[in-house]
Amino acid sequence: MKKLSSCFTTLALCSSLFSGFLHASECDPGERVVKFSHVTGGTTHPKVILINEFAANVNREMNGRLCVEVYPNSTLFGDSKELEALLLGDVQLLAPSIAKFGAFTDKYAVFDLPFLFKDLDQIIRFTKTPEAKDLLHVMEDSAGFVGLGYWMSGMKYFTANKPLLVPSDAKGLKIRVQSSTIAKGMIRAMGASPQVIAFSEVYGALQTGVVDGQENTWSNIYTQKFYEVQDSVTETNHQVLAYLFVTSADFLNSLSDEDRTQFLDLVDRATQSANKLVKEKDAVNRENILRAGGKINTLTPEQRAEWVNTMAPIWKEFEGSIGKDLIETAAGA
Ligand code: LMR
Protein backbone atom coordinates (compact mmCIF):
# COMPACT_ATOMS: atom_id res chain seq x y z
CA MET A 1 0.00 0.00 0.00
CA LYS A 2 1.08 3.60 -0.61
CA LYS A 3 2.78 4.88 2.49
CA LEU A 4 1.14 8.28 2.40
CA SER A 5 1.86 8.77 6.07
CA SER A 6 5.55 9.16 5.16
CA CYS A 7 4.53 12.44 3.56
CA PHE A 8 4.42 13.94 6.98
CA THR A 9 7.91 12.82 7.84
CA THR A 10 9.80 13.16 4.56
CA LEU A 11 9.99 16.64 3.12
CA ALA A 12 10.95 15.55 -0.39
CA LEU A 13 8.13 13.05 -0.65
CA CYS A 14 5.74 15.61 0.81
CA SER A 15 6.54 18.24 -1.78
CA SER A 16 6.34 15.70 -4.59
CA LEU A 17 2.91 14.60 -3.41
CA PHE A 18 1.62 18.15 -3.43
CA SER A 19 2.90 18.69 -6.94
CA GLY A 20 0.91 15.70 -8.09
CA PHE A 21 3.53 12.96 -7.74
CA LEU A 22 2.09 10.06 -5.85
CA HIS A 23 4.34 7.31 -7.12
CA ALA A 24 7.24 8.32 -4.88
CA SER A 25 6.17 5.76 -2.31
CA GLU A 26 6.25 2.03 -2.85
CA CYS A 27 3.84 -0.82 -3.31
CA ASP A 28 4.14 -3.76 -0.96
CA PRO A 29 5.46 -7.09 -2.27
CA GLY A 30 2.59 -9.23 -3.54
CA GLU A 31 0.43 -6.27 -4.53
CA ARG A 32 -0.47 -5.94 -8.19
CA VAL A 33 0.94 -2.64 -9.46
CA VAL A 34 -1.47 -0.59 -11.57
CA LYS A 35 0.17 2.31 -13.41
CA PHE A 36 -1.88 5.46 -13.97
CA SER A 37 -0.18 7.90 -16.33
CA HIS A 38 -1.36 11.40 -17.18
CA VAL A 39 -0.10 14.66 -18.60
CA THR A 40 -1.44 17.27 -16.19
CA GLY A 41 0.20 18.77 -13.10
CA GLY A 42 -0.10 21.32 -10.33
CA THR A 43 -2.22 20.98 -7.23
CA THR A 44 -5.48 22.63 -8.27
CA HIS A 45 -6.15 20.73 -11.49
CA PRO A 46 -9.31 18.59 -11.22
CA LYS A 47 -7.66 15.65 -13.00
CA VAL A 48 -4.67 15.69 -10.64
CA ILE A 49 -6.94 15.82 -7.59
CA LEU A 50 -9.22 13.05 -8.87
CA ILE A 51 -6.47 10.67 -9.88
CA ASN A 52 -4.67 11.09 -6.56
CA GLU A 53 -7.93 10.58 -4.67
CA PHE A 54 -8.79 7.51 -6.77
CA ALA A 55 -5.34 6.02 -6.19
CA ALA A 56 -5.57 6.65 -2.45
CA ASN A 57 -9.01 4.98 -2.31
CA VAL A 58 -7.90 1.90 -4.25
CA ASN A 59 -4.73 1.63 -2.21
CA ARG A 60 -6.63 1.83 1.04
CA GLU A 61 -9.66 -0.29 0.17
CA MET A 62 -7.89 -2.90 -1.95
CA ASN A 63 -4.78 -2.93 0.23
CA GLY A 64 -2.70 -6.06 -0.32
CA ARG A 65 -4.24 -6.71 -3.75
CA LEU A 66 -3.97 -3.64 -6.01
CA CYS A 67 -1.57 -0.73 -5.73
CA VAL A 68 -2.07 2.26 -8.03
CA GLU A 69 1.06 4.23 -8.93
CA VAL A 70 0.39 7.68 -10.37
CA TYR A 71 2.71 9.27 -12.96
CA PRO A 72 1.62 12.89 -13.62
CA ASN A 73 3.03 15.59 -15.90
CA SER A 74 3.93 13.25 -18.80
CA THR A 75 6.68 11.76 -16.58
CA LEU A 76 5.97 8.20 -17.74
CA PHE A 77 4.24 8.70 -21.11
CA GLY A 78 3.32 11.90 -22.94
CA ASP A 79 0.53 12.49 -25.44
CA SER A 80 2.08 10.65 -28.33
CA LYS A 81 2.94 7.50 -26.40
CA GLU A 82 0.28 6.92 -23.76
CA LEU A 83 -2.36 5.23 -25.91
CA GLU A 84 0.27 2.98 -27.46
CA ALA A 85 1.48 2.12 -23.93
CA LEU A 86 -2.06 1.13 -22.95
CA LEU A 87 -2.31 -1.09 -26.03
CA LEU A 88 0.99 -2.73 -25.07
CA GLY A 89 0.05 -3.17 -21.41
CA ASP A 90 2.85 -0.87 -20.20
CA VAL A 91 0.26 1.20 -18.34
CA GLN A 92 -3.19 0.19 -17.09
CA LEU A 93 -5.02 3.49 -16.53
CA LEU A 94 -5.16 6.79 -18.42
CA ALA A 95 -7.45 9.81 -18.57
CA PRO A 96 -6.59 11.57 -21.85
CA SER A 97 -8.63 14.22 -23.53
CA ILE A 98 -11.28 12.42 -25.52
CA ALA A 99 -10.21 14.41 -28.58
CA LYS A 100 -7.04 12.29 -28.67
CA PHE A 101 -8.92 9.09 -29.63
CA GLY A 102 -9.62 10.21 -33.21
CA ALA A 103 -7.47 7.42 -34.65
CA PHE A 104 -9.70 4.82 -32.94
CA THR A 105 -13.25 6.12 -33.40
CA ASP A 106 -15.16 8.94 -35.14
CA LYS A 107 -17.90 8.91 -32.53
CA TYR A 108 -16.03 10.82 -29.81
CA ALA A 109 -16.00 13.87 -32.08
CA VAL A 110 -19.44 14.57 -30.58
CA PHE A 111 -17.67 15.73 -27.39
CA ASP A 112 -15.59 18.11 -29.46
CA LEU A 113 -18.10 19.93 -31.66
CA PRO A 114 -17.70 23.69 -31.10
CA PHE A 115 -20.57 25.39 -29.28
CA LEU A 116 -22.54 22.15 -28.86
CA PHE A 117 -22.25 22.11 -25.06
CA LYS A 118 -23.02 25.49 -23.55
CA ASP A 119 -21.73 24.55 -20.10
CA LEU A 120 -20.40 21.71 -17.96
CA ASP A 121 -23.86 20.81 -16.64
CA GLN A 122 -25.05 20.00 -20.16
CA ILE A 123 -22.14 17.71 -20.95
CA ILE A 124 -22.40 15.98 -17.57
CA ARG A 125 -26.09 15.32 -18.30
CA PHE A 126 -25.10 13.95 -21.73
CA THR A 127 -22.58 11.55 -20.18
CA LYS A 128 -25.42 10.01 -18.16
CA THR A 129 -27.53 9.17 -21.24
CA PRO A 130 -27.64 5.55 -22.51
CA GLU A 131 -26.07 6.75 -25.78
CA ALA A 132 -23.01 8.20 -24.02
CA LYS A 133 -22.73 5.12 -21.77
CA ASP A 134 -22.67 2.89 -24.87
CA LEU A 135 -19.84 4.99 -26.25
CA LEU A 136 -17.64 3.89 -23.34
CA HIS A 137 -17.41 0.54 -25.14
CA VAL A 138 -17.04 1.77 -28.71
CA MET A 139 -13.31 0.86 -28.92
CA GLU A 140 -13.50 -2.43 -27.05
CA ASP A 141 -13.58 -4.78 -30.04
CA SER A 142 -11.25 -2.77 -32.25
CA ALA A 143 -8.53 -1.63 -29.82
CA GLY A 144 -9.31 -3.38 -26.54
CA PHE A 145 -9.83 -0.01 -24.77
CA VAL A 146 -12.61 0.10 -22.17
CA GLY A 147 -13.97 3.49 -21.13
CA LEU A 148 -14.55 3.65 -17.38
CA GLY A 149 -16.17 7.07 -17.20
CA TYR A 150 -16.15 10.62 -18.47
CA TRP A 151 -14.45 13.35 -16.48
CA MET A 152 -14.25 17.04 -17.40
CA SER A 153 -11.44 19.56 -17.32
CA GLY A 154 -13.69 22.54 -18.08
CA MET A 155 -14.82 24.70 -20.97
CA LYS A 156 -12.12 25.81 -23.42
CA TYR A 157 -10.78 29.28 -24.21
CA PHE A 158 -8.31 30.67 -26.71
CA THR A 159 -5.07 32.32 -25.63
CA ALA A 160 -2.63 34.10 -27.94
CA ASN A 161 0.20 36.59 -28.05
CA LYS A 162 -2.37 39.24 -28.99
CA PRO A 163 -6.02 39.69 -27.93
CA LEU A 164 -8.38 37.48 -29.93
CA LEU A 165 -11.75 39.20 -29.72
CA VAL A 166 -13.13 37.86 -32.97
CA PRO A 167 -11.96 34.78 -34.89
CA SER A 168 -10.37 36.86 -37.65
CA ASP A 169 -7.95 38.35 -35.07
CA ALA A 170 -6.18 34.97 -35.33
CA LYS A 171 -5.63 35.32 -39.09
CA GLY A 172 -2.13 34.15 -40.00
CA LEU A 173 -1.30 32.93 -36.48
CA LYS A 174 -0.03 29.47 -35.61
CA ILE A 175 -2.24 27.86 -32.98
CA ARG A 176 -1.37 24.71 -31.04
CA VAL A 177 -4.06 22.03 -31.03
CA GLN A 178 -4.43 18.51 -29.69
CA SER A 179 -4.43 15.75 -32.30
CA SER A 180 -8.07 16.40 -33.20
CA THR A 181 -9.49 16.83 -36.71
CA ILE A 182 -12.23 19.10 -35.39
CA ALA A 183 -9.73 21.37 -33.66
CA LYS A 184 -7.70 21.62 -36.87
CA GLY A 185 -10.89 22.54 -38.76
CA MET A 186 -11.74 25.25 -36.22
CA ILE A 187 -8.33 26.86 -36.48
CA ARG A 188 -8.44 26.83 -40.28
CA ALA A 189 -11.92 28.40 -40.17
CA MET A 190 -10.31 31.26 -38.18
CA GLY A 191 -7.75 31.77 -40.97
CA ALA A 192 -4.96 30.43 -38.74
CA SER A 193 -2.65 27.44 -39.01
CA PRO A 194 -3.18 24.46 -36.63
CA GLN A 195 -0.05 22.88 -35.15
CA VAL A 196 -0.32 19.58 -33.29
CA ILE A 197 2.05 19.69 -30.30
CA ALA A 198 2.24 17.39 -27.28
CA PHE A 199 0.84 18.96 -24.10
CA SER A 200 4.17 18.82 -22.28
CA GLU A 201 5.75 20.98 -24.99
CA VAL A 202 3.12 23.70 -25.24
CA TYR A 203 4.61 26.17 -22.73
CA GLY A 204 8.00 26.08 -24.48
CA ALA A 205 6.39 26.39 -27.91
CA LEU A 206 4.44 29.48 -26.80
CA GLN A 207 7.47 30.97 -25.09
CA THR A 208 9.79 30.60 -28.07
CA GLY A 209 7.22 31.62 -30.66
CA VAL A 210 6.99 28.21 -32.33
CA VAL A 211 3.25 28.85 -31.99
CA ASP A 212 1.37 32.07 -31.23
CA GLY A 213 -1.58 30.66 -29.33
CA GLN A 214 -3.47 27.65 -28.05
CA GLU A 215 -6.89 26.68 -26.67
CA ASN A 216 -7.46 25.16 -23.25
CA THR A 217 -9.31 25.19 -19.93
CA TRP A 218 -8.76 27.50 -16.95
CA SER A 219 -7.20 24.56 -15.13
CA ASN A 220 -4.66 23.86 -17.85
CA ILE A 221 -3.94 27.53 -18.57
CA TYR A 222 -3.26 28.11 -14.87
CA THR A 223 -1.38 24.96 -13.91
CA GLN A 224 0.80 25.02 -17.04
CA LYS A 225 1.32 28.80 -16.63
CA PHE A 226 0.36 29.51 -20.25
CA TYR A 227 -0.86 32.97 -19.14
CA GLU A 228 2.78 33.89 -18.45
CA VAL A 229 3.71 33.59 -22.12
CA GLN A 230 0.50 34.86 -23.73
CA ASP A 231 -1.04 38.32 -24.03
CA SER A 232 -4.44 37.22 -22.78
CA VAL A 233 -7.14 34.54 -22.58
CA THR A 234 -10.43 35.08 -24.43
CA GLU A 235 -13.49 33.70 -22.71
CA THR A 236 -14.85 31.95 -25.81
CA ASN A 237 -16.37 28.89 -24.08
CA HIS A 238 -16.18 27.27 -27.50
CA GLN A 239 -15.84 23.62 -26.48
CA VAL A 240 -15.51 21.35 -23.51
CA LEU A 241 -12.34 19.48 -22.66
CA ALA A 242 -13.65 16.07 -21.66
CA TYR A 243 -11.49 13.19 -20.48
CA LEU A 244 -12.01 9.50 -21.01
CA PHE A 245 -11.01 7.57 -17.90
CA VAL A 246 -9.88 4.43 -19.70
CA THR A 247 -8.31 1.03 -19.18
CA SER A 248 -7.74 -2.06 -21.30
CA ALA A 249 -9.96 -5.13 -21.57
CA ASP A 250 -6.83 -7.19 -20.85
CA PHE A 251 -6.37 -5.51 -17.49
CA LEU A 252 -10.03 -5.77 -16.47
CA ASN A 253 -10.24 -9.42 -17.52
CA SER A 254 -7.12 -10.24 -15.56
CA LEU A 255 -8.81 -9.27 -12.26
CA SER A 256 -10.73 -11.80 -10.21
CA ASP A 257 -14.52 -11.30 -10.26
CA GLU A 258 -14.42 -9.97 -6.72
CA ASP A 259 -11.56 -7.55 -7.39
CA ARG A 260 -13.14 -6.37 -10.64
CA THR A 261 -16.43 -5.59 -8.90
CA GLN A 262 -14.70 -3.66 -6.14
CA PHE A 263 -12.42 -1.84 -8.59
CA LEU A 264 -15.36 -0.81 -10.80
CA ASP A 265 -17.20 0.44 -7.74
CA LEU A 266 -14.22 2.67 -6.91
CA VAL A 267 -14.16 3.79 -10.55
CA ASP A 268 -17.81 4.91 -10.36
CA ARG A 269 -17.18 6.76 -7.14
CA ALA A 270 -14.31 8.62 -8.82
CA THR A 271 -16.58 9.70 -11.69
CA GLN A 272 -19.25 10.94 -9.27
CA SER A 273 -16.57 12.89 -7.46
CA ALA A 274 -15.35 14.26 -10.83
CA ASN A 275 -18.79 15.61 -11.65
CA LYS A 276 -19.02 17.34 -8.28
CA LEU A 277 -15.53 18.80 -8.24
CA VAL A 278 -14.96 20.22 -11.68
CA LYS A 279 -17.01 23.42 -11.59
CA GLU A 280 -15.46 24.51 -8.31
CA LYS A 281 -11.90 23.87 -9.55
CA ASP A 282 -12.64 25.56 -12.88
CA ALA A 283 -13.72 28.72 -11.04
CA VAL A 284 -10.73 28.57 -8.66
CA ASN A 285 -8.28 28.32 -11.54
CA ARG A 286 -9.91 31.25 -13.39
CA GLU A 287 -9.38 33.33 -10.24
CA ASN A 288 -5.83 32.00 -9.90
CA ILE A 289 -4.99 33.24 -13.41
CA LEU A 290 -6.24 36.73 -12.58
CA ARG A 291 -4.42 36.73 -9.26
CA ALA A 292 -1.20 35.69 -10.98
CA GLY A 293 -1.47 38.65 -13.35
CA GLY A 294 -3.08 36.93 -16.36
CA LYS A 295 -5.52 38.93 -18.49
CA ILE A 296 -8.98 37.68 -19.49
CA ASN A 297 -10.99 39.17 -22.38
CA THR A 298 -14.75 38.77 -22.14
CA LEU A 299 -16.83 38.88 -25.32
CA THR A 300 -19.76 41.10 -26.26
CA PRO A 301 -22.80 39.19 -27.64
CA GLU A 302 -21.84 40.40 -31.15
CA GLN A 303 -18.26 39.14 -30.83
CA ARG A 304 -19.49 35.82 -29.49
CA ALA A 305 -21.90 35.48 -32.44
CA GLU A 306 -18.90 35.82 -34.79
CA TRP A 307 -17.16 32.87 -33.10
CA VAL A 308 -20.31 30.76 -33.30
CA ASN A 309 -20.89 31.61 -36.97
CA THR A 310 -17.27 30.97 -37.96
CA MET A 311 -17.34 27.50 -36.44
CA ALA A 312 -20.85 26.48 -37.50
CA PRO A 313 -19.77 24.82 -40.79
CA ILE A 314 -17.69 22.27 -38.80
CA TRP A 315 -20.90 20.59 -37.62
CA LYS A 316 -21.96 19.75 -41.17
CA GLU A 317 -18.56 18.27 -41.92
CA PHE A 318 -18.74 15.78 -39.03
CA GLU A 319 -22.47 15.06 -38.89
CA GLY A 320 -22.18 11.98 -41.11
CA SER A 321 -19.43 10.26 -39.15
CA ILE A 322 -20.77 11.14 -35.68
CA GLY A 323 -24.44 10.52 -36.52
CA LYS A 324 -27.21 13.12 -36.45
CA ASP A 325 -29.09 11.31 -33.65
CA LEU A 326 -26.11 11.36 -31.33
CA ILE A 327 -25.57 15.08 -31.95
CA GLU A 328 -29.25 15.72 -31.21
CA THR A 329 -29.04 13.74 -27.96
CA ALA A 330 -26.04 15.84 -26.91
CA ALA A 331 -27.68 19.11 -27.97
CA GLY A 332 -30.85 18.27 -26.04
CA ALA A 333 -29.11 17.03 -22.87
C1 LMR B 1 -4.23 19.15 -23.96
O2 LMR B 1 -3.51 18.41 -24.63
O3 LMR B 1 -4.31 20.37 -24.14
C4 LMR B 1 -5.07 18.54 -22.86
O5 LMR B 1 -5.69 17.42 -23.37
C6 LMR B 1 -4.24 18.13 -21.69
C7 LMR B 1 -5.08 17.51 -20.61
O8 LMR B 1 -4.97 16.30 -20.39
O9 LMR B 1 -5.83 18.25 -19.98
Output the average pLDDT for the chain: 92
Residue 38 pLDDT more than 90? yes
Question: How does pLDDT run across 40-61, given as a tens digit for each residue?
Answer: 999 999 999 999 999 999 999 9
Residue 272 pLDDT more than 90? yes
Closest CA to 182 of 80, 114, 101, 237: 114
Ligand 1: nearest atom to the Cα of 198: 2
Residue 291 pLDDT more than 90? yes
Ligand 1: nearest atom to the Cα of 178: 2
Q: Of 216, 223, 224, 282, which is best to mutate to test ligand 1, by the most ligand atoms within 8 angstroms of its C-beta?
A: 216
Question: How does pLDDT run across 64-98, given as a tens digit for each residue?
Answer: 999 999 999 999 999 989 999 999 999 999 999 99
Give me the mean pLDDT over the 132-154 stretch: 97
- Model confidence band, residue 26 (pLDDT cutoffs 50, 70, 90): confident
pLDDT at position 80? 80
- Model confidence band, residue 25 (pLDDT cutoffs 50, 70, 90): low
Ligand 1: nearest atom to the Cα of 95: 8
Question: How does pLDDT run across 312-326, given as a tens digit for each residue?
Answer: 999 999 999 999 999
